[in-house]
Amino acid sequence: MELINKSLKELSSLIAKKEIKPSEITEELLSRIEKTESKLNAYITVEKEKSIEAAKLKDKELEKLSETEIPDLFGIPLSIKDNILVEGQKMTCASKMLKDFIAPYDATVIKKLREKGAIFIGKNNLDEFAMGSSTETSFFGVTKNPWNLERVPGGSSGGSAAAVAARSAIASLGSDTGGSIRQPCSLCGVVGMKPTYGRVSRYGLTAFASSLDQIGPITKNIEDNAFLLNIISGLDSKDATSAKLPVPNYLEALDNEIKGLKAGLPKEYFIEGIDPEVKEKVMEAVKTLERLGVEIEEISLPHTSYAVETYYIIAPAEASSNLGRFDGVRYTYRAKEYTDLIDMYCKTRAEGFGNEVKRRIMIGTYTLSAGYYDAYYLKAQKVRTLIYQDFQNAFKKVDFIVTPVSPTTAFKIGEKTDDPIKMYLSDIFTIAVNLAGLPGLSMSCGFDNKNLPVGVQLIGKAFDEETLYSVGYKLEKELNINNMPQV
């Protein structure tokens, strides 16, 4: 089998046994990227020369290392969503505003991966500033779904998910504010984890909605995902919201017993409007869990139908504040012609941002402005409490929750671009998890009759990624889905 079809974990063991050289993986992956990119557009930047150079250095270093000294990701090329800083590489956030921006330092997650020997082969496409559910708002053009090139890969981490699915990435990191890891993973048939808020440092991730954003791994399988989360998790003095809690070994958790665990099926997630084929596949996964000894119980999360509305007040409000920094002074882009300072700000931002970003900045500015704060922002934060309490109550009865990831499989490019609200509703099943700060795992559970992947979401208690991985691992084995998209 070709190296690019192997999992991250397999490649790591092959390197550890010195059976392959880092440059072999990097070269094979680069030629795969060259083949697939004309069709997919999953990358904004590919660091061809730099990564070949880095891999050759690793080849030499490897000769000198004894087997026990070889770090876990030694010489393994990873791709990264282009809103995370990798020192010396461009970081565009898929925006004209940052098309020439060079990262001046490494994000904490990148520093951790680098310490384990990883090579950073390129930056994946996304919706502009991670605002979107289809990767269509990217300044660099839409990414295509590798299962069907006329369809979207989901978003906002669409480039990462598409690349991992198409084997033009070994594994990637994404970010998830309202479903941006889980929904594209569902639509592309790969595995994505949105960790508990605070599990992973956000330092070096371009802030979108700071109380919701979280970085997580996008991988070919559950084991790789646990492997990467082990490395990137933990307290960071540079992110005051990172949690002061020990990080368990997620790889060990894969073998935890799941017999006797209780899973909740929230009735509000199996509503009218959900694609019947999605429902059917998710219910098959539920049956499989039952066969594996998991007890299934119907539960209620009564405020579910308010989550999208709550999110579309809180996320734009935080975004309007976070994106204030793009003022034409510090971050590369400045309008050419202007009359005074205010005009320079207004023109720079009008030229640099796309329409979805402008919409969210304006909504956020409005809902935070004098006289409207209580009616919108404060109200939404109160509803957030209700949504959080729904989950707290549910977790008194069950160990984890099972839902679909997305109400539909991958939709057609252009199908929802004219109607922002229609687009917003594609995150209906993922958003509440961010509002409540919980971990959510998205994995494939089959295909619809158009051969498009369907995803199932496992939602856990805060800081209980272990249960999600152990359940996901067994479910993955049992479902045994090995189809790969032909690109």
Partner 1 sequence: MKLSKEQVKHIALLSRLSLSEDEVEMFQEQLSDILNFVEKLNELDTEGIDPKFQIIPPENVLREDIPGVSFPYEKTFLNAPETDGKHFIVPKVVKK
Q: Which residues are catalytic?
A: 81, 156, 180
Q: How far is the CB of 17 from partner 1 (least distance, A)?
A: 39
Nearest distance from C-beta of residue 342 to partner 1, angstroms:
7
DSSP 362: H
With beta carbons less than 8 A apart as the criterion, state whether 387 and 434 touch. Answer: no
Provide the 10 A C-beta neighbour count for residue 271: 14
* Phi and psi angles of residue 404, each rounded to the nearest 5 degrees, phi first: -70, 160
- Give the end-to-end CA distance of the chain in Å, rounded to a whole number: 17
Whose tokens are 């509703």? That residue is: 425
Nearest to 195 by CA among 161, 242, 133: 242
Q: Which is nearer to partner 1, 64 or 330 (CB)?
A: 330
What whole-number distance in Å separates Cα of residue 403 and Cα of residue 448? 17
- Pick between residue 120 and residue 326 the one whose CB is nearest to partner 1: 326
Nearer to partner 1, 147 or 391 (CB): 391
Cβ at position 115, least distance to partner 1 in Å: 20
Judge residue 99's burial from the number of C-beta atoms within 10 Å of its C-beta, 0-12 exposed, 13-18 middle, 19 or more buried.
middle
**Pick 207 or 383: Cβ nearer partner 1:** 383
| Two structure tokens written together for 480 | 């045994």
Nearest to 435 by CA among 451, 415, 455, 459: 459
Least Å from the CB of residue 363 to partner 1: 6
Instruction: Give Rg (Cα) of the chain.
Output: 21
Q: How far is the CB of 422 from partner 1 (least distance, A)?
A: 10
C-beta of 383: minimal distance to partner 1 in Å? 5
Closer residue to partner 1 in complex, CB, 312/469 = 312
Complex with partner 1: residue 56 or 379, whichever CB lies closer? 379
Q: Is 103 exposed, middle or buried (0-12, 13-18, 19+ CB in 10 A)?
A: middle
- Indicate the residue type of 234: G
CA distances from 123 to 103, 132, 150, 177 (A): 12, 18, 23, 19
Q: Name the site residues for partner 1 (rule: CB under 8 A).
A: 100-102, 104-105, 197-198, 211, 237, 240-241, 243-244, 303, 306, 309-310, 312-313, 320, 324, 327-334, 338, 340-347, 349-350, 353, 355, 358-359, 361-363, 365-366, 369, 376, 378-386, 388, 420-421, 424, 436-437, 462
* Cα separations in angstroms, 277 against 134, 296, 420, 454, 455: 21, 21, 25, 8, 11
Minimum CB distance to partner 1, residue 337 (Å): 11
Closest CA to 173 of 124, 217, 143: 217
Q: Smaller CB distance to partner 1: residue 40 or 433?
A: 433
Q: Which is nearer to partner 1, 28 or 415 (CB)?
A: 415
Within 7-76, strands assigned E span: 43-46
User: For residue 94, which of 105, 81, 78, 103 has the smallest C-alpha distance?
Assistant: 81
Query: Angle CA(206)–CA(137)–CA(222) in degrees, nearest 5?
Result: 65
Which tokens sit at 344?
A: 């320079």
Min. distance of Cβ 48 from partner 1 in angstroms?
A: 22
